[in-house]
């Protein structure tokens, strides 16, 4: 079957529907849903049942980059800075030094095992050097496992922030493969430029995006998520055009925005959660269509050897060396080593050699595809088993609730109190989002001229408003009163 304008929507929607239904039922059998999405794409492809003809690496790469934008941005929005801050150094070490060591050790093994040149070997190592954000976020958040201490945020920070490092290594070694006369030293300035500009641009666009979101009056709540999408792509493309790392920029931008008070933040988070899932499904379906299983089969032997080396030697070696300066129990280091999931990102990176047209590009792509399937199948299905075996999971069965979960579900507050906005209140004329209220308190209702208003971030405080404030504790109320510099007109009531 050949894809045409007339049938692409029908075929695409049917594949999407099938993926959602099968993915919903697969969790009870412990099979990672992302692997099923990939399988459905393969079954619909040229060697599959549907026989859909799709063999365009450039389109697949474009879909992959767009999808990764949404996946990384969604992961950044869900990153709680207070949770990440204590393990920030460990996360940075894993996402930079860990990725580099993985690429180097695996590349040297490939060079010893195959007839690849040293730069081709290091290119292959770079392609699979980072853990996959889509796979890690999806599997960790679908498991009802409460990991001890800061283990989960460490894993999510690493997976969300290590793609930029891998991307730079891929581009660097691809350049060396194409231009044999260049030396390894020649790629160092490009590496430094990519990472530094990416970090600076990410923070700068985060500040700019916050200002625009909170000050542009769009009139419709549904337009704010659209605005954020536009800002996300502007951040990525502008950073990339300046020579910086666009993936790093959008992740830092999203982390910044996710920890700020934004107008209609709840709507933005809900939309990005859904879009991240949509993009994961589309990404894996597309890559499944691009793969020809008949071409993968000849490389299963060498692919298995390299996969086992990556999982049991290269990844643990990189993790243990990267974490040497930090105090961490050995069993937690082992668990971090095991959660080295490779998913769609390496397959997306493997399209770069295909488009560049290097000699062994097709072989690389098929080996990388085998990597991803092996990793998700072997490691993804055993995360819970290893967590219990290594005793890094809480024994009371408690489920970790993220800041994202609390924000979306509106977890119940313990105390309610009414606050009267006096004539001299400094909050008058300001939007709710700019009041600087503590995270533990919310303005649930505003009584104004005998009418009740359900406020959002864009609601402006007026004189003589009566604010119904909900808080986790009395300390939260003290902070609210400090923000408003006004008075309480009713005593706190503790909910039983």
Q: What is the model's pLDDT at position 489?
A: 47
Say if pTM beats, i.e. exceeds, 0.85: no
Note whether residue 207 is domain-resident.
Answer: yes
Q: What is the CATH number of the domain that holds 490?
A: 3.30.70.1450
Domain housing 272: 8-389
Nearest by Cα to 195 from 133, 252, 248: 248
Tokens representing 383 are 């995360």
Same domain, 422 and 371: no
Sequence-distant (6+) residues with CB within 8 A of 208 are: 231
Same domain, 236 and 296: yes
Q: What is the model's pLDDT at position 146?
A: 66
Q: What is the model's pLDDT at position 160?
A: 78
Domain count along the chain: 2
Note whether residue 170 is domain-resident.
Answer: yes
Say if CB 374 and CB 313 are below 8 A apart: no
Whole-angstrom distance, CA of residue 385 vs CA of residue 364? 32
Residue with the two structure tokens 């393990």: 87
C-alpha pair distances (Å), 346 with each of 55, 148, 286, 438: 18, 29, 14, 40
Same domain, 371 and 418: no
Say if CB 226 and CB 179 are below 8 A apart: no
Say if CB 289 and CB 52 are below 8 A apart: yes
Same domain, 132 and 227: yes
Q: What is the model's pLDDT at position 24?
A: 62
Note whether residue 404 is domain-resident.
Answer: no
Q: What is the model's pLDDT at position 475?
A: 73
Same domain, 452 and 371: no
Same domain, 136 and 278: yes
Q: Kindly report the three-state secondary structure assignment for every residue of the chain.
A: CECCCCCHHHHHHHHHHHHHHHHHHHHHHCCCHHHHHHHHHHHHCCCCCCCCECCCHHHHHHHHHHHHHHHHHHHHHCCCHHHHHHHHHHHHHHHHHHHHHHHHHHHHHHHHHCCCCHHHHHHHHHHCCCCCHHHHHHHHHHCCCCECCCHHHHHHHHHHHCHHHHHHHHHHHHHHHHCCCCCHHHHHHHHHHHHHHHHHHHHHHHHHHHHHHHHCCCCCCCHHHHHHHHHHHHHHHHHHHCCCCHHHHHHHHHHHHHCCCCCCHHHHHHHHHHHHHHHHHHHHHHHHHHCCHHHHHHHHHHHHHHHHHHHHHHHHHHHHHHCCCCCCCHHHHHHHHHCCCCCHHHHHHCHHHHHHCCCCHHHHHHHHHHHHHHHHHHCHHHHHHHHHHCCCECCCCCCCCCHHHHHHHCCCCCEEEEEECCCCCCCCCCEHHHCCCCCCEEEEEEEECCEEECCCCCCECCCCCEEEEEECCHHHHHHHHHHHCCEECCCCEECC
Same domain, 304 and 358: yes
Note whether residue 346 is domain-resident.
Answer: yes
Same domain, 375 and 420: no
Q: What is the model's pLDDT at position 211?
A: 94
Note whether residue 3 is domain-resident.
Answer: no
Say if CB 54 and CB 341 are below 8 A apart: no
* Per-residue pLDDT in tens (0 to 9) along the chain, 496 residues: 666 666 777 777 888 888 777 766 555 544 566 677 788 888 887 776 777 777 888 988 999 899 989 988 988 898 888 888 888 999 999 999 999 999 999 999 999 999 999 999 999 999 999 887 666 766 666 555 567 777 878 887 888 788 888 999 999 999 999 987 777 777 788 888 988 999 999 999 999 999 999 988 887 888 999 999 999 999 999 999 999 999 999 999 999 999 988 888 888 998 998 898 888 888 888 888 888 888 888 888 898 899 999 999 999 999 999 999 998 889 989 989 998 888 778 888 999 999 998 888 999 998 988 888 888 788 877 877 888 888 887 765 455 555 455 555 555 556 777 888 877 787 788 888 877 777 777 788 888 887 888 887 778 888 888 888 887 777 777 777 777 765 454 444 444 4
Note whether residue 377 is domain-resident.
Answer: yes
Note whether residue 336 is domain-resident.
Answer: yes
Whole-angstrom distance, CA of residue 335 vs CA of residue 145? 13
Note whether residue 397 is domain-resident.
Answer: no
Same domain, 55 and 111: yes
Same domain, 312 and 435: no
Same domain, 227 and 144: yes
Same domain, 421 and 298: no
Q: What is the model's pLDDT at position 145?
A: 59
Q: What is the CATH number of the domain that holds 145?
A: 1.20.1530.20
Say if CB 156 and CB 136 are below 8 A apart: yes
In angstroms, how far is CA 334 from the centroid of its own chain? Answer: 23
């Amino acid at each position: 079957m050949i894809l045409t304008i007339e049938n692409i929507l029908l075929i695409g929607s049917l594949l999407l529907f099938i993926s959602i239904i099968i993915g919903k039922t697969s969790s009870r059998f412990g099979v990672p849903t992302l692997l099923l999405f990939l399988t459905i794409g393969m079954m619909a492809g040229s060697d599959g049942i549907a026989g859909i003809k799709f063999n365009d690496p450039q389109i697949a790469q474009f879909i992959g980059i767009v999808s990764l934008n949404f996946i990384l941005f969604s992961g950044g929005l869900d990153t709680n800075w207070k949770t990440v801050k204590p393990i920030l150094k460990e996360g940075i070490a894993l996402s930079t030094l860990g990725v580099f060591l993985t690429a180097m050790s695996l590349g040297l093994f490939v060079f010893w095992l195959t007839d690849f040149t040293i730069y081709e070997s290091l290119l292959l190592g770079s392609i699979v050097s980072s853990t996959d954000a889509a796979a890690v976020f999806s599997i960790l958040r679908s498991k009802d496992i409460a990991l001890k201490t800061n283990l989960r945020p460490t894993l999510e920070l690493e997976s969300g922030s290590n793609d930029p490092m891998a991307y730079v290594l891929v581009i660097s070694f691809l350049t060396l493969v194409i231009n044999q006369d260049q030396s390894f030293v020649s790629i160092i300035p490009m590496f430094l430029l990519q990472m530094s500009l990416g970090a600076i641009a990410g923070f700068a666009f985060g500040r700019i995006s916050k200002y625009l979101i909170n000050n542009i009056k769009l009139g419709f709540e549904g337009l704010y998520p659209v605005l954020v999408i536009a800002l996300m792509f502007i951040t990525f493309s502008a950073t990339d055009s300046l020579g910086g790392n666009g993936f790093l920029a959008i992740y830092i931008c999203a982390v910044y925005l996710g920890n700020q008070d934004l107008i209609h933040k709840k709507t933005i988070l809900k939309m990005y959660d859904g879009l991240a899932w949509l993009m994961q499904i589309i990404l894996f379906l597309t890559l499944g269509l691009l793969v020809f299983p008949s071409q993968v089969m000849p490389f299963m032997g060498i692919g298995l050897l390299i996969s086992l080396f990556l999982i049991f030697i290269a990844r643990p070696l990189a993790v243990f060396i990267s974490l040497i300066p930090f105090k961490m129990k050995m069993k937690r280091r082992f668990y971090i080593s095991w959660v080295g999931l490779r998913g769609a990102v390496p397959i997306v990176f493997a399209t770069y050699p295909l488009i560049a047209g290097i000699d062994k590009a097709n072989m690389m792509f098929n080996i990388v595809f085998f990597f991803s399937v092996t990793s998700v199948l072997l490691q993804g299905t055993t995360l819970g088993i290893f967590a219990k075996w290594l005793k890094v999971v809480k024994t009371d069965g408690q489920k970790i609730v993220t800041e994202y979960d609390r924000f979306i579900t509106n977890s119940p507050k313990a105390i309610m109190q009414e606050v009267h906005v006096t004539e001299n209140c400094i909050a008058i004329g300001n939007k709710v989002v700019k009041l600087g209220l503590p995270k533990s308190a919310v303005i649930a209702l505003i009584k104004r001229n005998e009418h009740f208003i359900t406020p959002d971030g864009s609601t402006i405080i007026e004189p003589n408003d009566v604010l119904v404030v909900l808080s986790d504790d009395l300390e939260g109320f003290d902070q609210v009163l400090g923000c408003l510099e006004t008075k309480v007109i009713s005593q706190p009531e503790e909910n039983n």
